[in-house]
Amino acid sequence: MSDIAIEQFLVDPQGKLVINENIKNIFEYFLMASHIEGQDQVIERIREYIEMSLSGEATMKAQEIADNYLLYKGNLSTEQFAMNTDFSQQENLTMLRSALDDKKNTRRQYLGKELSEALFGHEERYDDYSYQRLLINSDSSLSEQEKDQLMAQAESQLPSKMAQGMRYKREEKKLTAQINRLKNQSDTAEEIFDLRANFYGEKIAQRMAYLESNTPQWQARLTEFYQQRQDILDSNELSDEAKKLALQEAKDNAFTRKEQIKLAVQSIRGA
């Protein structure tokens, strides 16, 4: 925990506690250590931090919120879903929806509607969005266009900055699928470049085109280098360290630094 910076309570000009998500983050910072220090010690640390950071009415308000927050955490269902849970199955989606609703209800029971919204509003809207995304993607009766339209509607319920990020990812995924289709056709390099330039900007489009370029000249150079590489690896006269140095020297002689980056990228992608 010592490597994680703890957030600070905020107060307004009148000295009143500003109630927002950072309060939850402060409590969770301390609660992370409960399995090491024990629950009682963690609660004491939270109280000490409140008294050290705040004064007057703000202290009392923070202590009240802390008490209710700890009650909420103590009564929260611990149902977890495995990373490989198949959410294309309706049964699992139903269980997920139930778990999300139970969590919301528990928050409102112990924190109240207003405080729950202040502490968890963004998180709950993202959870709802994630559920809607799973629901949409699991519906085999929907076309890709219909799914995209429904995803756009779901994004509109998110906070603006979060919605912008989700929209970017969705549009990028569509772009990638479109480009992959074009790559299976002939004479589409210019169209692919234009699509990328419109989305990422011309500079990034140029970089991506360079990294993917597989001209006959480039392929001939690769063939020559890989043959030289294999000769070095097959040598019985060189030690492992000498082979390593010889391979690097061969690479430096065959390619510029920029070309070596291209070589590495294509190797990773299996180009």
pLDDT tens for 16-51 read 999 999 999 999 999 998 888 888 999 999 999 999
pLDDT value, residue 86: 79
**pLDDT tens track for 157-206:** 999 999 999 999 999 999 999 999 999 998 899 999 999 999 999 999 99
Residue 110: CB atoms within 10 Å: 19
Q: Are residues 206 and 246 in the same domain?
A: no
Kindly write down the DSSP assignment for every residue of 11-58, as one continuous string.
B-TTSPBP-SHHHHHHHHHHHTTHHHH-HHHHHHHHHHHHHHH--HHH
Q: Which is more confidently placed, 2 or 230?
A: 230
Residue where one domain finishes, among candidates 74, 100, 128: 74
Q: What is the pTM of this model?
A: 0.75
Q: Are residues 204 and 223 in the same domain?
A: no
Examine residue 145 and state whether it is found in any structural domain, yes or no.
no
Range of the domain at 199: 159-212
Q: In DSSP terms, which residues pair with 37 in a beta bridge?
A: none
pLDDT of residue 257: 95
Q: Does 23 map to a domain? A: yes
- Is 100 part of a structural domain of the chain? no
Task: Give yes or no: residues 6 and 36 share one domain.
Answer: yes
- Do 184 and 224 belong together in one domain? no
Query: Which residue in 128, 124, 132, 26 sits closest to 69, CA to CA?
Result: 26
In the listed set 11, 43, 74, which residue is the last one of a domain according to the structure?
A: 74
Q: What number of CA atoms fall less than 13 Å from residue 269's CA on the CB side?
A: 12
pLDDT in tens, 228-262: 999 999 999 999 999 999 999 999 999 999 999 99
Same domain, 242 and 189: no
Instruction: Judge whether 33 and 42 are in contact, CB under 8 Å.
Output: yes
Residues 115-153 pLDDT 10s? 999 999 999 999 999 999 999 999 999 999 999 999 999
Number of separate domains in the chain = 3
- Judge if 205 and 220 occupy the same domain: no
Same domain, 6 and 23: yes
Of 171, 187, 212, the position where a domain reaches its end is 212
Residue 235 to residue 205: CA distance in whole angstroms: 41
Q: For residue 226, is it within any domain?
A: yes
In whole angstroms, give the CA distance from residue 191 to residue 67. Answer: 60
Q: What is the DSSP string of 121-186?
A: HHHHHHHHHHHHHHHHHH-TTS-HHHHHHHHHHHHTTS-HHHHHHHHHHHHHHHHHHHHHHHHTSS
**Domain membership flag for residue 33:** yes
199 in a domain, yes or no? Answer: yes
Which residue's structure tokens are 């010592």? 2
Asked if residue 114 is part of any domain, the answer here is: no
Confidence label for 91 from pLDDT (cuts 50, 70 and 90): confident
